[in-house]
Structure 1
Amino acid sequence: MEKIIKKIEKKFGKLPEAYRQWILLGVTSDERFTLCSVDWIEAASVLDVHVVQEPEQGLPGIFPIASFYSVCLWCIDNHMGGRVILCPHDEVMAKLYAPSVVAWAYRMGLEEAANFTDEDDIVRGKLVLWAGLIQDSQPEWAAHIVQLAGLPEQRFEYGTGVISRQEVDEIILKSFGQVYLDGEVEFLLPEEEDDEYSEEDDD
């Protein structure tokens, strides 16, 4: 795995320590850590999955770690401190999701707790597993996810869970900031102006 990590780092720069450890622990290839909205990309395949159809069009330092409903890609933006963004396949703007990969794991746990996407005991088990991913770096966040895993299920207008989506948004606002609720960023290189068009402008 160290060789694979070095190859990824050669292209995208030093990996966030938490993500590096997850690779070494086999998290990215362990189906137990798969969520409805997170289908991990194995570390060995990261360099083979392109964020955009034409790799040269993507901004440097952005690489995928998982897919979102097989449509969008969860990406680490290593050029901007390792924040996590959600890159769509048919748009030019990505959604700002979390300031770090650890914060992303916490938010994934919160959102899974707000909307159970599988049988009750399966979801609770996954919440505990995901809490373990952030135990060393953010023990308070990890303890919160474990706490949620033990709460009684509630019914909301959109489904069932142990915490409401409104409560999740309030936590994200307080912990990460407003930009991670509605912020967007470009993940493609700006298009170059057409030479002929530029010459006409000069005239």
Structure 2
Amino acid sequence: MTRLVLLRHGESTANAGDVFAGHLDVPLTPAGVLEARAAAAGLAGWCPDVVHASPLVRAAGTAAIVRDLLAPDVEVEHHSALVERHYGVLQGLRRADARARFGAEAVACWRRTPDGVPPGGESLAMVHERLRPYWHEELLPRLESGRAVLVVAHGNSLRMLLAHVSGRQLREASAVEIPTAAPLRPEVRLPAR
């Protein structure tokens, strides 16, 4: 039985505009709402005991849609540790404009290397550390008790959560592509007790 499903939010207005959203609270597009419904349809027959979500509206909205279709009696718990990484000077910029302004190499380094930090923002390694208490204190105890958990968050927070869940190295986890609203069922590596 699948104990953990990770789900990136459906398409947001920032995704549609090819904009770095980060901590900006952007809504789902109509296509994103349909993606969330399709994700729930793809999970039909699986019922989460617990739903965790980032409080940012694109993830919270996706979580609410999926929960309503799979397990309407389960409360959605919002966890600030699950928010998207802070993109600093890149937030609100279109990707093409960011590459033109800062250089394609710098933007690529900031986006997908564990220690790349956009000015004023967070590195992936910082997001990984931010998620450590959530993994150990919130998610892991529920998984160890046999509960089925749905986590709805963002591309980068899910990449770094995968590093905790599966024991992947940060560089490997940083390279994982996570499409919008495509459920992931990672193999959970529980620590030896």
TM-score clears 0.5: no
**Higher strand proportion:** 1
TM-score (norm 1): 0.29
Larger Cα Rg: Structure 1 or Structure 2? 1
Between the two structures, name the one with larger relative contact order (CA 8 Å, sep ≥ 6). Answer: 2
